[in-house]
Structure 1
Amino acid sequence: MKQKNEKLITLLTNEISDKGLTMRALSRQTDIDPAIISKIMNGKRNATVKHLHKFSQALDVPIKKLMSAAGYLETPPEESQQHLLALCQQADPDFSQGRVENQLASYEEIALTDGGKQIIDEKFEEKLRSVGSVGKLVNDLKQMYIKFQNGAGTKRELIILGAALLYFINPIDALPDYIFPFGYLDDTLAVHSAMQAANK
């Protein structure tokens, strides 16, 4: 049985109520079957990124806010990595975990150089603001940034953290950030991979 996503249900309930919509009206505006909307609202079905995109347009709610409430911007547990990978492949059929890892490896080469540190110093806060201020992804990124800036870890750990921060900062990564609404899903995978590697 699927776990109820109370955050998303509460957010959708409030937005639907504020806009004075019925389920049928929302169904017409989103072209999502009313039975599917009902299951999402009752926690019997997970909302996909495509559902969230349609809700975003119909309810005039930022897609990042909906994705955060639905847990898509959280660092995934092992079993949901395949789900995130499948979502990334909806946007780009050639996408693979290997592409993320290859790009992370290329950033490892510059993570502790003066140039790499300068990019992180100058661009991290600005990029973080573009994602929003909520969600486990944002919290993990902030922790990684603080550890990296303070040099809290072995040289290898700092290289891994720096590579993940550079991956996040670069808008043209394995799945470019402008591929709406999928662009930050690969960043979530990259952060998760880096955190696993740093904790080995």
Structure 2
Amino acid sequence: MPNKKSGEQNLGIMIKTLLKNRSLSMRKLSTITGIDTATISRIVNNKQQAKPSHLQLFADHLGVPVAILFQAAGYDLELNEKNTPSDILDSIDTIQEILVSSNFLDHQFNLEKIHQELAKYEQFALTKEGEQKILEEFETKVEQVRGAGPFINELNEMYKSFCEENNPIEKRAILGSVLLYFILSTDIIPDYVFPFGYLDDCLAVQIGLDRLSKINKMED
């Protein structure tokens, strides 16, 4: 069930922003989605709760990951197989567009900032201090976020891999940098920017997985 207090206002702002940036009216959105204009207006103005079917149609026609709309509407759920971190990575331009146009952030968000933060943590991850921080604080941080989020399963697997003694230094550095990013809360997108607060962690995970995948291909 959605959390109405935390959700509906955010969803309304998001849809208004997407419509404006795509030069669409509610009437035009009604035509392409088949949802009655009055229904769209009530959803946008926080007078009616959006159904999952509404959110899916909005996502399909406004070019935004459906999981983001579900979170904006206050639904407490993890991403399904169709909405993976990779999908969000591919939609970074849309996410940036919403953040900037809605004044959620006072600066432009881009992937380079996440790359820079991860690079800073790579060497630290290979030190005794960095390793100790990961081993002592990772599980606590997972508990703090209540094990929720589309990236938690990937982080748990990365943590298990980091703990393996036979990992090459390059892989260990990549794994450690992502885990430290998560633990130390170096949020490029602040957590209070609902529903985007988790996205930089999610993107950091995907960046790390992509790098590990390239290393594995080279080893094959």
Letter of the structure 2 residue corresponding to residue 188 of structure 1: C
1:82-122 residue CA offsets vs partner (Å, 9 max, x unmatched): 44454565532322111000000000120110111111111
Contact 2:67/2:79 (<8 A) preserved = no
Contact 1:88/1:175 (<8 A) preserved = no
Contact 2:158/2:175 (<8 A) preserved = yes
Counterpart selection for 2:155 from 111, 119, 141: 141
Counterpart selection for 2:71 from 41, 49, 52: 52
Give the superposition deviation at 1:135: 4.9
Letter of the structure 2 residue corresponding to residue 157 of structure 1: K
Q: Find the residue that maps to 1:150 and give its secondary structure.
A: coil
Corresponding position of 1:155: 169
Give the superposition deviation at 1:38: 5.5
The answer to whether 1:171 aligns with 2:190 is: no
Give the superposition deviation at 1:158: 0.7
Distance in 2 (CA, whole Å) between partners of 1:72 and 1:88 is 23
Distance in 1 (CA, whole Å) between partners of 2:99 and 2:71 is 15
Give the superposition deviation at 1:80: 3.0
How much is the aligned-residue C-alpha RMSD, in angstroms?
Answer: 3.8
Could you say if the C-alpha distance between residues 107 and 179 of structure 1 is closer, same or farther in structure 2, counting changes exceeding 3 Å? same
Could you say if the C-alpha distance between residues 142 and 183 of structure 1 is closer, same or farther in structure 2, counting changes exceeding 3 Å? same
Could you say if the C-alpha distance between residues 88 and 116 of structure 1 is closer, same or farther in structure 2, counting changes exceeding 3 Å? farther
Gaps of 5+ in 2: 5-37, 60-65, 215-220
Distance in 2 (CA, whole Å) between partners of 1:168 and 1:98 is 17
Counterpart selection for 1:113 from 120, 127, 130: 127
Contact 1:107/1:163 (<8 A) preserved = yes
Identical-residue share of aligned pairs (%): 29
Distance in 2 (CA, whole Å) between partners of 1:101 and 1:72 is 25
The answer to whether 1:191 aligns with 2:201 is: no
Could you say if the C-alpha distance between residues 72 and 105 of structure 1 is closer, same or farther in structure 2, counting changes exceeding 3 Å? farther
Q: Find the residue that maps to 2:142 and give its secondary structure.
A: helix
Could you say if the C-alpha distance between residues 199 and 175 of structure 1 is closer, same or farther in structure 2, counting changes exceeding 3 Å? same
Corresponding position of 1:79: 90
Higher relative contact order (CA 8 A, sep 6+): 1
Distance in 2 (CA, whole Å) between partners of 1:115 and 1:166 is 11
TM-score (norm 2): 0.62
Corresponding position of 2:35: none
